[in-house]
Structure 1
């Protein structure tokens, strides 16, 4: 499935329900909406949530610049499913960061989700499994409710096979190369 940009009123390239749903959230519902297992969910992080992401960006920022990587919260499509995510942060190669449409999880270097009381279970289970199934090499779960971070790696068709953590807040979490 292509996630190429479709202009307003151009319905000729929306041949199936999955694409129609994803088109609707990208062009009608607004910028900060995702689909999790077929449920359309607005994404509206709190200041505390955004602060957690900002701290991570500050810590990994110098290394990202060295490697020509960019961090943002652009859309990630999971083709063949009713899932279209807006991660709290994804790290991608700089050339992919210029993409107008959605990227795929396997095009990322790292995906970060920060839990909120309203979505913690989704980040801990559904997104962890789906990011692994779709080949995101690393998934960092920042669990604000448990005050811990867990790094998931080694993605397979069933999810991730390796988990490092949970590490209590304040303990360094080492990311593998690059």
Structure 2
């Protein structure tokens, strides 16, 4: 695991190299999403998301996008082109994920944002994006509690292995 990601958060370039525990949490969610992704012609990954008009370019831990859009996009996508964006917190970035990224993903129209907070051992699903961020917050749910994803996913995520 030598992958390093560079992202720009509020104008500051940040290099991240996720830990194995961080990657494991991402994989737990990805595996549960995979059957629905195939049915709905969606793909997941951690490609760049641009936030035009700001000094931000994020690399989410997981983003779900239409497969045809991903296949033809060489550069960054926009948050409103995703169906779900997930961030997994680490000790070095937990506050950024909890506040800055959550607000920005909502402002830029990502329909669903899942925060897996490894330090607090909770998951929170944010929905109904708007000018000030997200209007609806479902959680925080302690690890071990199912987190329900709405349509088009229509599934309950098992968080017991996070």
Fold shared by both chains (TM-score > 0.5): yes
Higher relative contact order (CA 8 A, sep 6+): 2
CA distance in 2, matches of 1:97, 1:114: 22
What SS does the corresponding residue of 1:103 show, helix, strand or coil?
A: coil
Q: Point out where structure 2 has 5 or more consecutive residues left out of the alignment.
A: 153-162
More strand by share: 2
CA distance in 2, matches of 1:141, 1:32: 19
For residues 124-154 of structure 1, the C-alpha deviation after alignment (integer angstroms, 9 at most, x for no partner) is: 0000000000000000000000000000000
2:19 matched to which residue of 1? Answer: 46
Equivalenced residue count is 149
1:169 matched to which residue of 2? Answer: 143
TM-score, scaled to structure 2: 0.90
Note the aligned Cα RMSD (angstroms): 1.1
For residues 26-62 of structure 1, the C-alpha deviation after alignment (integer angstroms, 9 at most, x for no partner) is: xxxx972000000000021000000000000111110
What SS does the corresponding residue of 1:92 show, helix, strand or coil?
A: strand
For residues 142-168 of structure 1, the C-alpha deviation after alignment (integer angstroms, 9 at most, x for no partner) is: 000000000000000110000001111
2:157 matched to which residue of 1? Answer: none
- 1:80-95 equivalences under 5 Å are 80-95=53-68
CA distance in 2, matches of 1:66, 1:81: 35
CA distance in 2, matches of 1:139, 1:154: 10
Point out the more displaced range, 70-79 or 30-39. Answer: 30-39
TM-score, scaled to structure 1: 0.82
Q: Does 1:133 align with 2:107?
A: yes
What SS does the corresponding residue of 1:165 show, helix, strand or coil?
A: strand
- Structure 1's consecutive aligned runs of 4 or more residues displaced over 6 angstroms after TM superposition are none
**Displacement, 1:97?**
1.5
What SS does the corresponding residue of 2:77 show, helix, strand or coil?
A: coil
1:115 corresponds, among 84, 89, 94, to: 89
Larger Rg: 1
- 1:2-151 equivalences under 5 Å are 32-98=5-71, 99-151=73-125
CA distance in 1, matches of 2:137, 2:21: 25
